[in-house]
Amino acid sequence: MSSVTLTDIVKRFEAFTAVHKTSLEIPDGAFVTLLGPSGCGKTTTLRMVAGLLDPTEGEILIKGRRVNDVPIHKRNLGLVFQNYALFPHKTIVENVAFGLKYRGVPKEEAKKRVQDALELVQLPGVGERYPKQLSGGQQQRIALARAIVIEPDVLLLDEPLSALDANLREDMRVELKRIQERIGVTTIFVTHDQSEALALSDQIVVMSAGRVEQVGPPEEVYNTPASEFVANFLGASNILPATCVGRDGDSLAFDAEIFGRIAVPAKKAPQVTSDGPAKLVLRAEKLLLTERDAPADGTVTVDATVETVDYQGQAVRYFVRAGEHQLQAINMIDEHPFAEGAPVSIRLRPRDCAALSA
């Protein structure tokens, strides 16, 4: 049974359409991420589910109940914001217990549930403090405890990790996944950060300019992007014009200027149904740069010259020139990175390629 269903949702602000006709099914207990750049409509969609915005058209169902006309305080949702939004004039215990007050939970039980929630977020000892006395990461844990203690039908997370420092963000990411799996609450997570989306989600909904570009599990979205936008938004990709020249069993043959003929697995080119012009998607981290004279061992090889080196510590992002194309390649560093101007070979395994219709 699906927990949240959006049917032909549209949101317009006067002349501007923030969300174009969108339908979405979110299964019970799933962790679904709305991923996209700012202004793509992801937060607008979340706020419509929350009841903070009314959809212009379409229906929203939560647990099979139509909630279009149900105000936010009667929807039984857990909401976590980017800036924590704890009540500064209440203690941590009062913050977490806030939602229980409106649910008629008896005092003794409320006390126990608050304590359980604080233990779940690994902050059992801070109950008597005020939000200001906690660090950002701790405040966000409390915000999470406050949202889940009411046993919401859906947990809505609006960029909850974006205000935290980089290191803390990764810890919280792991923590968030652990807690979500433990309590099994259906979760909608909004972020612009692809690594958060890939790490946390059962399903990723990639959005752009108010439209859904692709829905699928992280691996599928990453390996078989459904559009140029998805290919570029999740990681770095090279997109090359190519021509589909025929099918051979489970693979499609493409002619791609500098790379010559490449046999791409058919399941990685679901949109290509006939011969003719198409686009090849080559992920930057799948292009391996080697010395020119290294043995080729079954890969496609193209000679190229390094133009720019973007050193990142354990990895390097190269911009290389191959014929008239500039390609990105992200490689782990083996001893020394290549210097700018170095002659190299690009190695590519055909099965790492994906293709889009032109």
Partner 1 sequence: MGWSLIRLWALLVYLFMFLPVAVVVLLSFNASQFGAFPMTGLSVRWFVELAQNEAILRAFRTSILLGTLTAGISTTLGVLASLALVRYRVPGSNLISTFLIAPILVPEVVLAVALLLFLNFMSINKSFTLLLFGHVIFTLPFVVLVVQARLVSIKRDIEEAAMSLGASPRQTFFEITLPLMLPAVLAGALFAFTISFDDITGTLFWKPGGVETVPTQIFAMLRNSISPEINALGTVMIVLTVGLPLLGAAIARQLARNRGG
Residues that bind partner 1 (CB under 8 A): 50, 52, 71-79, 81, 83, 85-89, 91, 98-99, 101-103, 129-133, 143, 146-147, 150, 156
Nearer to partner 1 by Cβ, of 127 and 337: the residue is 127
Nearer to partner 1 by Cβ, of 72 and 236: the residue is 72
Nearer to partner 1 by Cβ, of 133 and 308: the residue is 133
Nearer to partner 1 by Cβ, of 86 and 185: the residue is 86
Phi, psi of 285 (to 5 degrees): -80, -5
Nearer to partner 1 by Cβ, of 75 and 347: the residue is 75
Q: How far is the CB of 80 from partner 1 (least distance, A)?
A: 8
Name every residue whose Cβ is closer than 8 Å to that of residue 125 and which is 6 or more positions away in sequence. none
Q: How far is the CB of 52 from partner 1 (least distance, A)?
A: 6
Residues 157, 160: Cα–Cα separation, whole Å: 6
Q: Quick check: 190 and 182 in contact, CB under 8 A?
A: no
Q: How far is the CB of 103 from partner 1 (least distance, A)?
A: 6
Q: How far is the CB of 146 from partner 1 (least distance, A)?
A: 7
Residues 115, 9: Cα–Cα separation, whole Å: 39
Q: How far is the CB of 165 from partner 1 (least distance, A)?
A: 20
* Exposure string over 284-323, b if 16+ CB within 10 A, otherwise e: bbbbbbbeeeeeeeebbbbebebeebeeeeeebbbebebe
Tell which residue, 349, 353, 234, 343, has the closest CA to residue 294. 343
**Which residues share a beta bridge with 306?**
320
> In this structure, what token pair is assigned to residue 248?
């051979």
Q: Quick check: 22 and 190 in contact, CB under 8 A?
A: no
Q: How far is the CB of 321 from partner 1 (least distance, A)?
A: 48
Which amino acid is located at 114 in the chain? V
Q: Quick check: 92 and 145 in contact, CB under 8 A?
A: no
Q: SS3 for 67?
A: coil
Nearer to partner 1 by Cβ, of 86 and 204: the residue is 86
Nearer to partner 1 by Cβ, of 191 and 238: the residue is 191
Q: How far is the CB of 87 from partner 1 (least distance, A)?
A: 6
Q: Quick check: 173 and 200 in contact, CB under 8 A?
A: yes
